[in-house]
Structure 1
Amino acid sequence: AGVILGKAASVFSDFYAVQTQSYGPEARGGASRSEIIISDEPIGFPGVMEADILVAMSQPAFDKYTTDVKEDATIIVDPSLVIDTGKFNPIGIEFTALADDMGRKIVANIIMLGSLTRLTGVVSEEAMTNAVIDSVPPRTIDLNKRALETGIRAAEEALAQKK
């Protein structure tokens, strides 16, 4: 998902972007990490010091990485996977359940990207759609476009509930 976001920013938008990731042994359901820096200026240092946005799709990731967010950061979680949010008041979107409803759990990350795009505006929906199309196998384009749209709609519902 981080690579797709970076591509949406740098290839399909007019931003500079740097993406790093670490998966290690905890990648399956644990605290894996993808960092993306997006800027309208050249990026001098490829590491995130304090994140403006955090998306956590597991409790270990939430627990480990909320220490690195700005006080006013946008935090997005899958509330079925991140139960204890402590002092934070994240936006909750059921990425995994929505993917299950589509019959393909693997699209949870694409649903997340749709929600992230709608909630933050960090890249345009058109740029994200183009990045997804460019990144997935041709036979899965329609599924992934539906997943992206599902994430956008879920974000709109979450925003309406927050008001």
Structure 2
Amino acid sequence: MEKCRIVMSGSGGQGVITASVILAEAAVIFEGLIAVQSQAYGPEARGGAARSDVIISDSEIHFPKVTQPNILVCLTQTAYNKFFPIIRPGGLLLTDTRYVTTERKVDAKQIELPMYHLVMEKLGNPVVLNICMLGALISLWSIVKPESIMKILEKRLPANLIQMNRNALELGISLGDNVK
């Protein structure tokens, strides 16, 4: 597998860091891959900038930071404006239509999905936006299997939250499948 270099960005409270940890754990524990995850965020608990880097590979990873991602996820306009120039040519740029207007063309596949809108319409709780985004991401770029993500969610979450997260993951996968 080619090294998968991912930057997930948004604001505090959107769950981009949690999503990146879940993805990295799924890759290592259930897919037998090597992964590193790092994060940076503002001092605010909610609303400040948040960025998480994940590198997933089947070979040794020598540097834990992503300088030129082949996958860039932006869940806020600020994150998009800051990070769109660093995407690797031929990569994937995934954004949410509620929060991001993609104003510039990049040498990457740009996918704009109504993730927030559909999470609210179908599930009624914005807390699972990050899991919907993960579903779309693994549908668009086969990083890990959906079952691997679910196994991590089942290990991390209380039983009463499993079904809502499963539904969010499936919603994201469906969104991704519809634009392939």
TM-score for the superposition, normalised by structure 2:
0.82
Distance 1:27 1:153 in 2: 31
| Paired-residue identity, % | 38
Distance 1:26 1:97 in 2: 25
Distance 2:110 2:46 in 1: 22
- 1:16 paired residue among 34, 40, 45: 34
- 2:58 paired residue among 23, 37, 40: 40
Cα contact 2:136–2:175 (8 A) shared by 1: yes
Question: Which residue of 1 is the match for residue 130 of structure 2?
Answer: 109
Q: Residue 130 and residue 85 in structure 1: after superposition, are their counterparts in 2 closer, same or farther (change >3 A)?
A: farther
Matched positions, count: 159
Q: Does 1:94 align with 2:114?
A: yes
Cα contact 1:133–1:145 (8 A) shared by 2: no
Q: Does 1:137 align with 2:158?
A: yes
Cα contact 1:30–1:60 (8 A) shared by 2: no
Cα contact 1:30–1:61 (8 A) shared by 2: no
Question: Which residue of 2 is the match for residue 149 of structure 1?
Answer: 170
Q: Does 1:82 align with 2:100?
A: yes
In the TM superposition, what whole-angstrom CA distance separates every residue of 1:104-144 from its partner, at most 9, and x where no partner exists?
Answer: 11100000000001100011122122122222222100110
Distance 1:84 1:129 in 2: 31
Q: CA RMSD in A?
A: 1.6
Q: Residue 158 and residue 28 in structure 1: after superposition, are their counterparts in 2 closer, same or farther (change >3 A)?
A: farther
Unaligned runs of 5+ in 1: none
Deviates more, 1:135-144 or 1:27-36: 27-36
In the TM superposition, what whole-angstrom CA distance separates every residue of 1:41-95 from its partner, at most 9, and x where no partner exists?
Answer: 1211111121010111111111111122101111110012111331135101111
Cα contact 1:92–1:158 (8 A) shared by 2: no
- 2:149 paired residue among 128, 134, 137: 128
Distance 1:26 1:60 in 2: 15
Q: Residue 116 and residue 23 in structure 1: after superposition, are their counterparts in 2 closer, same or farther (change >3 A)?
A: same
Distance 1:78 1:59 in 2: 9
Distance 1:70 1:25 in 2: 29
- 2:179 paired residue among 150, 154, 158: 158
